[in-house]
Amino acid sequence: MDLQELRQQIDKIDSDLVRLFQQRLDVSAEIAQYKQQNNLAIHDPARERQILFDLTHNVGEGRESYITALYSLLFELSRSEQERILNPSSGIADRIQSAIRDTEWMFPSRTVVACQGTEGAYSQLAAEKLFALPSILYCNTFDGVFAAIDSGLSPYGLLPLENSTAGSINHVYDLMMRYPFSIVRSVRIKVDHCLLAKEETAISSIKEIFSHEQAIAQCSGFLKTLNCKVTACENTAVAAKMVSESPRKDVAALSSRNCADLYNLRRLADSVQDQGNNYTRFICVSKSLAIYPGADKTSLMLTIPHRPGSLYQILSRFYIHGINLIKLESRPIPDRDFEFMFYFDLEIPVYSPALIQVLRELNDLSDEFYYLGSYAEVI
């Protein structure tokens, strides 16, 4: 039998599979109606477990895992179809539609925005990139930024979420579990760290370098070449200001280029980060939900049941609906032993019916579900 004949057999089998799969979905829809009428849960794990046991009993050696993988996906598809039929609308869909309808068409150009740090911080650069005329309210901590938004002191806040070299900023993720907020936009800022010191200071005389812990991580290779103490502080701009105001002549700061002029410091070394392609992603957050035109990213937080397959059920829904998952982060939940909050970034227009459907399903699958917003990213 030649290749063409074998492919014809495959085509015939595939055609039969599609026909049988549609029949299976039709029966699944009838089961959904029965469950609704009799107040039964859509998910029946005991039934699925028994099916997998029976189906894998007589398959060829080494193929049990194939059958398990295939039918696990079929179960997810059937549940997705049942949920679509039984829950044609949801509170999340209504919130999103209301936000799209009520949000202004233009992103604001003049506003107060809370940032962590002081003048010259990278968050200031992010604010100036997002807003034409920002009035910046500087806070000492990331917690202070969230508190300013929560109290109504500032309508917007900017927070660094991740760096292309040093990774996620975990403390911000932890704070996201404590405050109600929505993401309305994100922005990427090119990070270019310089070694700054007073005019009379030479590299050979430096005994201590100050900077933010993320900047220290991003410049670890350069710092290893210097025989000096490295001390973390609140912000790279704060570090530059500390060096400028210090009576010591043996200290330096890892900070941005514009901090040199701002704090009258000399650049002893430029672009000392380990990677030239070094970017930090900031999120712009507000207390109320707003969805501006062009929103093509969505962020979520959720907790899931502590049982085998829970995370698979979540991830499979993105695959089923053709949604690109671009970030997955997990953080331990304070005061809960071995329980985690999962953070997801999705790449899909907010106007897509697939997004509404997957949000509806994830809300049902999760113990706790938080829709953080849909937004565009400025690059």
* Catalytic center residues: 280, 282
CA-wise closest residue to 255 among 247, 242, 35: 242
Q: CB of 241 within 8 A of CB of 118?
A: yes
Token reading at 250: 């043996």
CA-wise closest residue to 270 among 281, 250, 255: 255
CA 158 from centre of chain: 15
Q: CB of 98 within 8 A of CB of 159?
A: no
In which residue are the tokens 């002191």 written?
Answer: 153
d(CA 179, CA 175): 7
d(CA 29, CA 298): 29
d(CA 346, CA 318): 9
Q: What is the DSSP string of 33-79?
A: HHHHHTT--S--HHHHHHHHHHHTSSSPTT-HHHHHHHHHHHHHHHH
- Alpha helices (runs of H) in 154-272, residue ranges in sequence order: 170-176, 213-218, 220-224, 236-245, 257-262
- Sorted by sequence, the CB contacts under 8 Å of residue 355 that are 6+ apart come out as 298, 321, 323, 346, 348, 349, 374
